Structure 1
Amino acid sequence: MDYQFKAGSIPLLVSMPHVGTDIPDEVLAAMTPAAVDKQDTDWHLVRLYEFLDEMGASTLSARWSRYAIDLNRPPENTNLYPGQDTTGLCPVDTFHREPLYLEGRAPDQAEVQRRLQAYWKPYHDQLRAELDRLLALHGRVVLWDAHSIASHVPRFFEGKLPDLNFGTADDKSCALGLSNAIVSRALMQDRYSIAVNGRFKGGHITRFYGRPDANVHAIQLEMCQSTYMNEEAPYGYRADLAAQVQPPLRAMMQAAVDWIRA
């Protein structure tokens, strides 16, 4: 299976496109040792969001590493942040500019198209199918695209990122009322810093599927990994830190569900 999926009963689908750690053998054969470390994975998000089962949310999480193909990039491989540095559909280097492929082994266009069909398309087919199912059941649905990143990545931003980075494609991917409900709930705590449509405005999933006029409201949350794990290899989960961030995280998601049901 190219992903893990569980259908829920409430109008909330949580997508985790960057949690995958598997790399197909035929892809790995062309890669450098930097690829094996998979340092740019959104580590442990399935565990962090373990409360979703109790909430009754639908969940979709990736099997394949973003180093094989990035499920949160458009199939045309257009830059989501024009004028800014970013990694592509089939990344050729890590966030720290380490090459991912042996010399002369980077994927050509034919290989990119093969990976789109083999690894990218199944995830998006399931995402679309579940959104349609939830729409038929509830009439409106929230798509929450869950991500995490190291708190310091000089390639993309200066200094430390805010702890919680919400993206709504500059208010295009969801109703302002929904994002306000989520952010207002986030602001009820003072442990974690917050940004809205800052360095992270939402990737392909948020921008493509978020259609408020069609009753699909999408929001991305990019969390600093320092809020719940060790950021250095071997990237261990910190249950003590996670226990602090999970209650406000769950409250934000409940605020989204309450808004969509109102």
Structure 2
Amino acid sequence: MNPVEVHQGSSPVILGLPHTGTYVPDAVKARLNEQGRLLTDTDWHVHRLYDGLLDGVTTVRATFHRYLIDANRDPSGESLYPGQNTTGLVPLTDFDNRPIWREGEGPTADDVAERLEAFHAPYHAALEAEIARVKALHGVAILYDCHSIRSHCPFLFEGRLPDFNIGTNRGKTCAAEIERLTAEICAAADGYTSVLNGRFVGGWTTRHYGKPERGEHAIQMELAQATHLQGEAVPFDYDEEKAARLRPHLKAILTRLSEIAPSLKGN
């Protein structure tokens, strides 16, 4: 199993897809408990949701599941949100704080080291290579990191999550114009709610690659799964009608990012 799928395009925009993969090696799957084997915290169907929205877009997609190792976590294991509930590099619990490993079968230090080398590192090597390639073509690269999460996760946040959750690490990871136009499109989307740098300000990928002073911009979009799934529980089926309403707004964002990219050269 290749840990990463790359589709190269000619656009200045790159889609990062770290959490849509469901691959778990059999030997590891046998160590997950019944809850863990549900793979509940997958970004269900997000690659399908974005498919075909922007001509020439590059995609970098992890094929492995975040329970194996999380491609959007610091490889050092440092927490993204110190003082707040979150899950780690190799999660011990799901987003509802339920254990996902059989008793005594959780990941060891050796497991983590092996998975970093076999899965986490190849994904980020591919992402880094595509950022460099796209920047060489355009003088600028815009990484748009695609995510989703259930609307209600009391362990992680109170109440219902907004539909669009934009993260730029409080303006540090991209040009102000990228942040502004994305927020404006989301705010104008009829029937949807949005927030900029709310509960999710951008994961490790966004923070690590977002270097706007070098022409390398990164922005994270965390979608509430109620916007495109029939239900936020097993079997997490895709909802064609919901997706059809949502996709034009996502298309508008990606199109505008592509259009403004030339103006960002040298910023």
Q: TM-score, normalised by structure 1?
A: 0.97
SS at match of 1:85: coil
Q: Tell me, yes or no, if the aligned pair for 1:183 and 1:252 is still in contact at 8 Å.
A: no
Query: CA–CA distance in 2 between the matches of 1:144 and 1:36?
Result: 29
Equivalent pairs, count: 261
1:239 corresponding residue in structure 2: 240
SS at match of 1:55: coil
Q: Tell me, yes or no, if the aligned pair for 1:181 and 1:259 is still in contact at 8 Å.
A: no
Query: CA–CA distance in 2 between the matches of 1:74 and 1:201?
Result: 15
Q: Does structure 1 residue 252 correspond to structure 2 residue 253?
A: yes
Bigger drift between 22-31 and 133-142 goes to 22-31
| Letter paired with 2:14 | L
1:40 corresponding residue in structure 2: 41
Mapping of 1:170-181 within 5 angstroms? 170-181=170-181
Task: Give the deviation of 1:189 after TM superposition.
Answer: 2.0
1:27 corresponding residue in structure 2: 28
Q: Tell me, yes or no, if the aligned pair for 2:145 and 2:218 is still in contact at 8 Å.
A: yes
| Letter paired with 1:196 | L
- For residues 166-195 of structure 1, the C-alpha deviation after alignment (integer angstroms, 9 at most, x for no partner) is 000111100112110221222232211010
Q: Tell me, yes or no, if the aligned pair for 2:151 and 2:224 is still in contact at 8 Å.
A: yes
Q: Tell me, yes or no, if the aligned pair for 2:3 and 2:119 is still in contact at 8 Å.
A: yes
- For residues 70-119 of structure 1, the C-alpha deviation after alignment (integer angstroms, 9 at most, x for no partner) is 00000001111111010000001111122111111111212111110011
RMSD of the alignment, in Å?
A: 1.0
| Letter paired with 1:197 | N
Query: CA–CA distance in 2 between the matches of 1:65 and 1:57?
Result: 23
| Letter paired with 1:25 | D
Q: TM-score, normalised by structure 2?
A: 0.95
Mapping of 1:83-162 within 5 angstroms? 83-162=83-162
Query: CA–CA distance in 1 between the matches of 2:30 and 2:186?
Result: 44
| Letter paired with 1:177 | E
Task: Give the deviation of 1:35 after TM superposition.
Answer: 1.6
| Letter paired with 2:145 | D
